[in-house]
Amino acid sequence: MEIYKNPSYSPRERTIDLLSRMTIEEKAGQMCQVDGRHDPETWIYKKHIGSFLHVTGDEPARLQKMALETRLGIPILFGIDAIHGHAFQSGATVFPSQLGMSSSWNPELLEKVAAITACEVILTGLHWTFSPVLCIGRDARWGRVDETFGEDPYLIGVLAKAMIQGYQGDQLSDPYSILACAKHFAAYGETQGGRDSSESDVSERKLRSIFLPPFQEAVKAGCATFMAGYNAIDGVPCSANQWLLHDVLKEEWGFQGFVVTDWDNIGHLHEDHKVAATLEEACTIALTAGNDMMMSTPTFYEHALSLIEKGIISESLLDDACSRILELKFKLGLFDHKRFPDQGMVSTILGCPEHRKIAYDMALESMVLLKNQNNILPLSKEIKRIALIGPNCDDVQAQLGDWSFGARELAYPEVPTLNYHPEYDPSPIVTILEGIKNRCPHHVQIAYEKGCDLLDENNHNIEEAVETALASDAIIAVVGDTNVLNGEMRDRADLHLTGTQQKLLEALKVTGKPLIIVLVNGKPLTIPWIAENADAILEAWNPGMEGGNGVASILFGDFNPCGKLTVSFPRHVGQQPVFYNQLPGWHGNAYVEMTGEPLFPFGFGLSYTQYEYSNLMVSSSSLGVNDHLTVSVDVQNTGKYEGTEIVQLYINDIFSSVTTPIKELKGFQRIHLKPGEKSAVHITVPVASLGLVNRKCQYVVEPGVFEIMVGPSSRDMDLLKTIVEVVA
Ligand code: NOJ
């Protein structure tokens, strides 16, 4: 038996053996990834394809069988955007959006979400998810903020690790492991004006300070693949950036996996970024820069062959890329147990009650209570008639969010759409209307009016909505945004409520009835009117298939909300970006028209109970660079409900050789407290994590005094403060 077919050899030995048998054509094909819904046979038989994306249903098994019958029988790696559940697959479990999930600050739960996703992906015959997204989401105008973990690099790193662990398990050979993909490398969320895929005007120092750390954490967590961003950094498109992909990622950080381009990044080098005069030149640039797999640039195959023939690139570039790809295929066991889909298990496991339970738990933990005047929530037992009003009460798309059924990515006119048949979908999506109807006590009547369309200003029935509201004891208004206002190429110049939602809310306010607002939206919106006029605000994000049950449980008091914002809410779009970890400046923090403070800051989130913080202490007021700092604080639940509090630790390097953020999150801890209960919370951080990137772009901890801040949010008034000194 050939060495590469023999499982008793290591993945590395098998890779070397297989590579020695491959022709240049087979190597070039191995590096290609195309949409498998378009002429897959030619790609398998004539071009030795390495990977397909966006193939579902019975297709993966059919195509894999073909691949295994080819000369060398190299299995295909199937990729999919399962970024908040296997959400393109009919019947699968759909979790809240990544931004929603980040608001839980709960890595353990995220790991479970990712493990469930991996299990559902594997059962359908796929092997690789393009997740997690590690972009910093700090300009809400950008269309893809809903896909991020928010604005803080430290928190993103912690949550990324959890998701990678959930997807990949302890080792890739575990039967339910899939490959994770850290994307989009790098600074893709920082494009100017929030304009998708434009220039990220950041220096190396800024990259190393803010944008690269979460990706470095992903490498440490063993993330198998990386995706290069669409954007350019300081004039160099990511897929042309040898420093980024090769020098930093592969050499400095020792990344062993492979880099995939984003969708036709090579074509963009020529057509959009215009750093290559021809597609062939673009291929040379991409190959030399360190991209290993080329997503959706079908002509790469021919160009690579011609470049080798002309002697422009050396075959060793292809060898390195193929080794990285093949080794992961061996590690996944694709050559051995093949991972064919298991149709029997698909129908019983996808969206099963155990998986939905985690979707429900995640929906609960991802919701953030932004206002609760006079403790109007949870709903009092006196309330007998509820008016449920708004365009997002009963909207499946808005609730599931982007990268789920109906997402734009599925609708390629020339190829069949993915496998979503709502009429056969065995896992019904519980909308907020359904969730509230299911949960509300018998004596409570629910009257529902849509009130207005989310987009069409001419389509509303505000008068009927007002009448319904007048006949109620309280209004629950569910407003926000929907998929066409989020996603790739869907940046917004404005962040206000669209359609006639604002008019609807103002008319409801005039009724004088208690106004409880539930927001179902991909990302922060500018809602100063709501902040002032609503009695309560619950931010539900895109809460996934169990979102309706989650909202109902929180409104009726079955669950005490505990989510905290991972992204700041601007008061006005002109404040963008309004992230909490700003660099200090001389002219203060105010515009002519308004404050520079956000409407709701990073880390903010209320509860049905109250927590009191006291007795902040540090393990030592003087520490060496190799020491650990333990910060302790007492937290007491002084209210009536038991609940979970997320205790946050921020630092500030008071004087440093370069400007450093006014606050930086360095640790957090979740604690669960019964009414009256008091607990000491200890958060330990290595002093080595208090560093900065100096002018030479080196990471260093500079001796001096650091401010230590602990509390329930990043807002100054919420924080207890002390200082420590770091000595040389
Ligand atoms: C483009 C998106 O930017 C990326 O996030 C996604 O994974 C790929 N398309 C594949 O769908």
| Same-domain status, 420 and 531 | yes
Distance in angstroms (rounded) separating the CA atoms of residues 392 and 482: 8
| Same-domain status, 624 and 537 | no
- Cα of 185 to ligand 1 centre, how many Å? 12
For the segment 581-598, the average pLDDT, to the nearest whole number, is: 88
| 295 has pLDDT over 60 | yes
Predicted local confidence at residue 58, as pLDDT: 86
Residue 728 CB-density burial (10 A; 0-12 exposed, 13-18 middle, 19+ buried): exposed
Confidence of residue 70 (pLDDT cuts 50, 70, 90): very high
SS3 474: strand
| Same-domain status, 616 and 563 | no
List, in order, residues 6 or more apart from 155 with CB less than 8 Å away: 102, 105, 149, 566, 665, 668
Range from 118-122, 214-218, 333-337 carrying the lowest mean pLDDT: 333-337
| 410 has pLDDT over 70 | no
For the segment 430-443, the average pLDDT, to the nearest whole number, is: 95
Q: Check 81, 146, 196, 262 and give the catalytic one.
A: 262
Confidence of residue 445 (pLDDT cuts 50, 70, 90): very high
User: Of 510, 540, 567, which residue sits at a domain end?
Assistant: 567
Whether the CA torsion 150, 156, 161, 162 is positive or negative: it is negative
Predicted local confidence at residue 365, as pLDDT: 98
Query: What are the DSSP calls for 199-216, one per residue?
Result: EE---HHHIIIIISHHHH
| Same-domain status, 627 and 513 | no
| Same-domain status, 447 and 552 | yes
Q: Which helix (H) or strand (E) holds 524?
A: none
**Cβ(392)–Cβ(398) under 8 Å?**
yes
Predicted local confidence at residue 407, as pLDDT: 58
- Cα of 53 to ligand 1 centre, how many Å? 10
For the chain, the average pLDDT equals 95
| Same-domain status, 477 and 363 | yes
Over the stretch 226-245, which tens digit does the pLDDT of each residue have? Answer: 999 999 999 999 999 999 99
Which residue has the CA at smallest separation from atom 7 of ligand 1? 130
Domain span holding position 376: 353-567
Over the stretch 93-139, which tens digit does the pLDDT of each residue have? Answer: 999 999 999 999 999 999 999 999 999 999 999 999 999 999 999 99
Q: Is residue 73 part of a domain?
A: no
Distance in angstroms (rounded) separating the CA atoms of residues 63 and 41: 8
**Cβ(163)–Cβ(132) under 8 Å?**
yes
Interior angle at CA 49, CA 43 and CA 54, nearest 5:
85
By most ligand atoms within 8 Å of CB, the mutation choice from 53, 54, 295 for ligand 1 is 295
| Same-domain status, 391 and 521 | yes
| Same-domain status, 554 and 628 | no
Over the stretch 523-562, which tens digit does the pLDDT of each residue have? Answer: 999 999 999 999 999 999 999 999 999 999 999 999 999 9
Distance in angstroms (rounded) separating the CA atoms of residues 699 and 692: 6
| Same-domain status, 420 and 560 | yes
**Cβ(75)–Cβ(126) under 8 Å?**
no
HEC assignment per residue over 560-591: CCCCCCCCCECCCHHHCCCCCCCCCCCCCCEC
Over the stretch 312-326, which tens digit does the pLDDT of each residue have? Answer: 999 999 999 999 999
For the segment 651-662, the average pLDDT, to the nearest whole number, is: 98
**Cβ(528)–Cβ(571) under 8 Å?**
yes
For the segment 421-432, the average pLDDT, to the nearest whole number, is: 65
Q: Which residue type occupies 558?
A: D
| Same-domain status, 541 and 396 | yes
Which residue has the CA at smallest separation from atom 3 of ligand 1? 262
User: Of 541, 567, 593, which residue sits at a domain end?
Assistant: 567
Residue 512, sorted as left (phi over 0), alpha (psi -120 to 50) or beta, turns out to be left
Confidence of residue 411 (pLDDT cuts 50, 70, 90): very low
Q: Is residue 266 part of a domain?
A: no
- Give the number of domains in the chain: 2
The more confidently predicted of residues 424 and 344 is 344
| Same-domain status, 616 and 671 | yes
Confidence of residue 418 (pLDDT cuts 50, 70, 90): very low
Residue 275 CB-density burial (10 A; 0-12 exposed, 13-18 middle, 19+ buried): middle
Is residue 81 in contact with ligand 1, taking CB distance under 6 Å? yes
Q: Is residue 625 part of a domain?
A: yes
Question: Which residues are bridge partners to 417 per DSSP?
Answer: none
Domain CATH code at residue 616? 2.60.40.10
Q: Is residue 722 part of a domain?
A: yes
Predicted local confidence at residue 57, as pLDDT: 84
Predicted local confidence at residue 428, as pLDDT: 79
Confidence of residue 419 (pLDDT cuts 50, 70, 90): very low
| Same-domain status, 545 and 676 | no
Q: Distances from the Cα of 465 to the Cαs of 388, 457, 505, 529, in angstroms?
A: 9, 16, 10, 19
| 158 has pLDDT over 90 | yes
User: Of 503, 536, 567, which residue sits at a domain end?
Assistant: 567
Confidence of residue 417 (pLDDT cuts 50, 70, 90): very low
HEC assignment per residue over 599-633: CECCCCCECCCCEEEEEEEECCCEEECCCEEEEEE
Q: Is residue 327 part of a domain?
A: no
Q: Which of 367, 278, 301, 293 has the alpha carbon at shortest distance from 97?
A: 367
Domain CATH code at residue 429? 3.40.50.1700
| 343 has pLDDT over 90 | no
Q: Is residue 676 part of a domain?
A: yes
Is residue 263 in contact with ligand 1, taking CB distance under 6 Å? yes
Q: Is residue 33 part of a domain?
A: no
Q: Is residue 711 part of a domain?
A: yes
Predicted local confidence at residue 406, as pLDDT: 60
- 201 tagged catalytic: no
Q: Distances from the Cα of 271 to the Cαs of 191, 237, 278, 306, 332, in angstroms?
A: 19, 12, 9, 20, 36
The more confidently predicted of residues 348 and 675 is 675
